[in-house]
Structure 1
């Protein structure tokens, strides 16, 4: 069984996969109020004039994968009605937690 999430150990493998697909990767750093700890990143993968942009490399790889899977016509990226309903069902079935990580009874909300 695999359980993986975005963490400190996933960025570099994603970087390597993106590079192996022939993309050039650049990044930008935006500082907020001159406090380095509040910096945000933007990663750009570029190939053949196409750019995929995200806040982290995992997002960028996800966008590239969506491009490869859904097709290069941006109209194909739009969710159809059944996809939208399926997505809404997953959200409706979400487990609710409070800020301390305790599960909350949805009926009490």
Structure 2
């Protein structure tokens, strides 16, 4: 049985590259981003609607959540996450030596 999942009223903006450093800045209840399978998602508005509770959704705010997401979510949830995608995770290179 499939049930309707909450979606935001405004469509997602065009995806853009996002660094881990930027994701780490979004780790609060009112500004919650997560990394799942190389993509970055803004789940701020989604968290209160998460079937497992907002606390579970926010537990990985500003962090990698691939393993935890994969362990507990259906293909329907994976498809639904596209609604909240900000963009692809990109790694930054730090200069080694000057």
Same fold by TM-score greater than 0.5: no
- Structure richer in helix, relative to its length: 1
- Using CA pairs under 8 Å that are at least 6 residues apart, name the structure with larger relative contact order, 1 or 2: 2
What TM bracket, shorter-length normalisation?
Answer: under 0.3
- What is the TM-score of this pair, normalised by structure 2? 0.25
| Bigger Rg, structure 1 or 2 | 1
- What is the TM-score of this pair, normalised by structure 1? 0.24
